């Protein structure tokens, strides 16, 4: 390690504290019962289920049977997080691309028809086949920047963000979760 990449003792301590806080938050969220989850606001419920699903994605083995409603939310959460981190291009370029063939249907399933329509229109206009996104795969920041220039991703991202302001995904997902609560136990 060079001096440029080495963390200071204060940075190391701050990182340890942050990791410990995140681990404690995960333990707390996993401990919530269904009645406690049901009492949460839509935003809190979405975030709690989102964090549980992220945890589940990291701990489930290939033999784990995941109920359909949770599968739908796994796809939505993967998209939501990657979109929030870097837009549609990041979703296509990252691990989320394997979920792309199901994304529009999952958006429709939770009641986000306009979101699905916007996504589908973008893919249709630009000839993007959600079944074959390997050409978007990136292993470096330089590749991601190059890929982001291939299509008008920034335009899509701005339009999708505007739609999410008018029709936020969180309450739609929360209503879906509440409708299928037993599958999220």
Q: How far apart are CA 150 and CA 67, in angstroms?
A: 37
Read off the pLDDT band of 9 (50, 70, 90).
confident
Lowest pLDDT segment from 106-120, 136-150, 171-185: 136-150
Read off the pLDDT band of 3 (50, 70, 90).
low
* pLDDT of 22 above 90: no
For range 124-149, the mean pLDDT: 89
Q: How far apart are CA 40 and CA 169, in angstroms?
A: 16
Quick check: 130 and 103 in contact, CB under 8 A?
Answer: yes
**Which comes out higher in pLDDT, residue 134 or 123?**
123
The number of beta carbons lying within 10 Å of the beta carbon of residue 132 is 11
Q: Which of 168, 165, 183 is nearest to 49 (CA)?
A: 183
Per-residue buried b or exposed e for 41-57, using 16+ beta carbons within 10 Å of the residue's own CB: ebeebbebbbbbbbebe
Tell me what pLDDT residue 180 has.
95
Read off the pLDDT band of 160 (50, 70, 90).
very high
pTM comes to: 0.84
* pLDDT of 1 above 60: no
pLDDT, tens digit, 9 for 90 and up, residues 28-56: 888 888 899 999 999 999 999 998 888 88
Map residue 130 onto helix, strand or coil.
Answer: coil
Tell me what pLDDT residue 176 has.
97
Percent of the chain scoring above 70 in pLDDT: 97
């Amino acid at each position: 390690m060079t001096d440029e990449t080495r963390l200071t003792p204060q940075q190391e301590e701050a990182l340890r504290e942050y990791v410990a806080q995140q681990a404690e938050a995960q333990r707390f969220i996993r401990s919530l019962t269904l009645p406690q989850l049901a009492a949460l606001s839509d935003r809190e419920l979405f975030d709690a289920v989102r964090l549980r699903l992220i945890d589940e994605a990291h701990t489930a083995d290939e033999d784990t049977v995941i109920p359909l409603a949770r599968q739908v939310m796994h796809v939505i959460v993967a998209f939501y997080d990657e979109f929030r981190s870097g837009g549609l291009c990041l979703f296509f370029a990252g691990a989320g691309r394997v979920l792309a063939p199901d994304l529009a249907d999952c958006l429709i399933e939770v009641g986000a028809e306009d979101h699905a329509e916007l996504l589908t229109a973008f893919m249709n206009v630009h000839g993007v086949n959600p079944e074959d996104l390997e050409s978007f795969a990136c292993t470096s920041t330089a590749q991601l920047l190059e890929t982001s220039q291939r299509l008008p991703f920034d335009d899509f991202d701005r339009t999708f963000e505007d739609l999410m302001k008018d029709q936020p995904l969180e309450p739609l997902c929360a209503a879906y979760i509440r409708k299928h609560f037993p599958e999220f136990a």
